Each structure stands twice: as structure tokens, then as C-alpha cells.
Structure 1
Amino acid sequence: MLRRWKVYDQEMKALIAAGGVHQDADGWWVDDKTGELIGPDPDLERPLEEEELANMRPFREVFPDLAASMDREVAKRGRPPLDKVKTSVTIRLDPDIVAHYKATGKGWQSRMNDDLRKATGL
């Protein structure tokens, strides 16, 4: 990989030195005559050296406060806890009853729960 990058780097630098090439805002080199993208900035594509790889440390070790802050934000995601948790049950109902409630759209189970509440006087 490093050998291929060195060849690419030399070719790009020779092209740039010859002129007729400019770098756009994204770091890509563009042929002035054709407008064709030639390639990205060689420094952006350079593979890491062995020493650089050896010096790498985990994100949590380098930025412990930021990692803890991110953990707290992730923990906040999702539905907030309910005051009264509903109980899951299995019940057999006539198909026309289920079809009637499903026809009312999304949230039909909650509407069925509300109707049972009213019917029982709770």
C-alpha cells in the first residue's frame, strides 16, 4: 500500500509541477484543459507510517471527558421511562373487533385500552 502511494505521490507532484492543474476547494486536483478530476491531494491520501500507527491511542484514553459526555448523551436517547408500565398479555378476540380497531389507524391498541378503561369504569 505504501509503495503504491509513493508512486502515486511522485506522479501527482510531477503533474502539479508541470502546471495546467489546480486544486479545488475539496482538495482534488483538476486538469485545467479538460476539467477532469485527476486525484486528491497526495498528503490527504497518505497511508500512516508504522511509527504513527504505533503512537495511536484509543479515543476514550485521549479524550476521557468527551467520551463520558457522549456516553451520557447516548444514554438519554430513546423513549423516556413511563410512570405506569403496561403489562403485555395475550388475548383472543373476534376478528371483526380487531379489524374495527385496526381500521382506525396507528395507535389502535391504545384506543382499545382506553375503551376497556371506560367500559370497566377505571
Structure 2
Amino acid sequence: MTDSDNPEWTTDDFAKAKPASELPAHIRAAFPRTRGPQKAPPKVPVSIRLSADVVEHFKAGGPGWQSRIDEALRKVVGV
């Protein structure tokens, strides 16, 4: 399905494109600001298999369960 208000870009369109930093200030102002650099180093995404009862225990505490697992592991390794 095509959208006449938002046609697919052509090779020529991509060639003419400019980075947002080169747009006029009044246009840049219309877009929300990004988060910027993080204060803490970013976490590394990994895939890990845990026992179901361990996952259930941490998930029972509600949102942030992955951070709580990270916290527990950090205590174990002493960092």
C-alpha cells in the first residue's frame, strides 16, 4: 500500500538529504531534544538463561526486575 502524502524515497532523495544538524534552527526547534550523553556507562545487552523461579522472584517485584538482577549480580562480584 502506498501513501501519497509520504512517498517512498528514491536514490535522488537520499542523495539530497542533509543531517538534522544542518537544518535551519526554526525547523530543528520543532523536534524534541535527544537524551544526550549518559551519566553512567550504558549497559551491554546480553541473552542469558535463568531458572524460572529466579525470574519469577524478580518479576514479582514489578517493573525494574532486570535492574534488580543486575544489582544482585554486582553485589556478588563486588562492584
Q: TM-score, normalised by structure 2?
A: 0.59
**Aligned twin of 2:55:** 98
Identity %: 42
Report 1:65-80 matches (<5 A): 65-71=25-31, 74=32, 76-77=33-34, 79-80=35-36
Offset at residue 86 of structure 1 (A): 0.6
Provide the residue aligned with 2:68 in structure 1: 111
List, as ranges, runs of 4+ consecutive aligned residues in structure 1 with deviation greater than 4 Å: none
Say which structure, 1 or 2, has more relative contact order (CA 8 Å, 6+ apart): 1
Larger radius of gyration: 1
Instruction: State the alpha-carbon separation in 1 of the partners of residues 55 and 71 from structure 2.
Output: 15
- Residues in 2 aligned to 1:121 and 1:88: alpha-carbon distance in whole angstroms: 21
Q: Could you list the per-position Cα deviations for residues 34-75 of structure 1 after superposition, in whole angstroms to 9, with x for gaps in the alignment?
A: xxxxxxxxxxxxxxxxxxxxxxxxxxxxxx54223324xx2x
Provide the aligned C-alpha RMSD in A: 1.8
Q: Per the alignment, do residues 115 and 65 of structure 1 end up closer, same or farther by CA in structure 2, a change over 3 Å counting? A: closer
TM-score normalised by structure 1 residue count: 0.40
**Structure 1: runs of 5 or more not aligned:** 1-63
How has the CA–CA distance of structure 1 residues 95 and 68 changed in structure 2, closer, same or farther, with 3 Å as cutoff?
Answer: closer
Gaps of 5+ in 2: 1-23
Indicate the structure with greater helix content.
1
Q: Would the alpha carbon gap of residues 84 and 93 (structure 1) be closer, same or farther in structure 2, given more than 3 Å must change?
A: same
* Secondary structure, counterpart of 1:86 in structure 2: coil
